[in-house]
Amino acid sequence: MSDVLILKTAALGDVLRTTSILPGLAATLPGARITWVTAPGAVDLVRTHPLVHAVVPVDVRDPRSVADVARRLEPVRWRRLISLDDEEPLCALASRLASDQLSGAHLDAGGRRVYSADVAPWFDMGLLSVHGKAAADALKIQNTKSHPQIYAEMLGVPMGRPALHLTPEARLFAADFARRHGLEGRRPLIGLNTGAGGRWVSKQLAPEKTVELARRLPETATFVVFGGDSEAERNASILDGLARAGLGPRAVDAGTRNTLLDFAALVGLCDLLVTSDSLALHVAIALDRRIVAFFAPTSAAEIELYGLGEKVWSTAPDYCSYRPDADNASITPERLAAAARRVLAAV
């Protein structure tokens, strides 16, 4: 039996989109038992995947947690070890474990964080880049390949698709939500996920622009407003704006304190999700939902939509600069609404 170990803990969206490598690994290593080490908060994103044999949670901020995981994994000599994060504790863990083939970030003999040559196409564009930050940023802008394509090519596996397998409990939660809010039969059901947490202000679409976007969408549409735990006030502002625009009866609050799988199940109800570059985008892709995604500080090229929709990106000079204050003024309700109408028409 072949054994594969994947070290990938952050961020939630990145963990989910990295599941695209699983079909390729299974195809090239038949019978492989795949173990995934991830952050405690990301476990639900991979534990239900049928190609993942075991999930090991690790808190990289807790040395005891890292040490416990190392002791648990050390007895195995791994056929393939894939280390996809650049945090020092995970690099140290990758170096500590025995493997026939190590792909990814680790520590060299001098204790410096480095990465293997086969994963250069990805890590050359990141914080560990051997070319320096300026060159890494330039490579990021020049890149035209999606994350799944890059990962598949550098790992030598066929390109796959990310997948999220919902639990029966999450499906029941979504069905009950739809029943309580009278969503059955309402079409189209459009999710609005236009925030992106506190750090990435330039990833977001302002609440007033979100309301204007909704006004430009089909009059038969019902809207579900999504957001994370820190976005309750923002979402309340959007819902208030929708009510003042006369769209209140067609707007539903998804809540901001759902579990990961309950949140995903609610996304799965939607016919279309209009979303920032955030966890919700990757959830929608993994659940095969129709999508309109917008990008300003981050790379649209990295995102593979698998024919599920359209991308709208900034036309400002600092597009893909990874600056929290990047200019996102060109991400307009008009552009987003036009894309949404095209996607809905194609369905």
> How high is the pLDDT of residue 197?
78
CA–CA distances in Å: residue 176 to residues 78, 183, 266: 44, 10, 10
pLDDT score of 217 more than 70 = yes
pLDDT score of 199 more than 80 = no
Cα radius of gyration (the chain): 21
The model's confidence at residue 347, banded by pLDDT at 50, 70 and 90, is confident
The model's confidence at residue 1, banded by pLDDT at 50, 70 and 90, is very low
Domain ranges of the chain: 3-155, 168-346
Question: Class for domain 168-346, per CATH?
Answer: alpha beta
State the average pLDDT over residues 188-194: 98
pLDDT score of 2 more than 70 = no
State the average pLDDT over residues 204-222: 97
Query: Cα separation of 135 and 120, whole Å?
Result: 13
Q: What percentage of residues in the chain have a pLDDT greater than 70?
A: 99
Mean pLDDT of all residues belonging to the chain:
96
CA–CA distances in Å: residue 284 to residues 41, 42, 96, 251: 19, 16, 36, 20
**Is-same-fold flag (3-155; 168-346)?**
yes
State the average pLDDT over residues 189-215: 93
CATH architecture label of 3-155 = 3-Layer(aba) Sandwich (3.40)
State the average pLDDT over residues 111-137: 96
State the average pLDDT over residues 25-49: 97
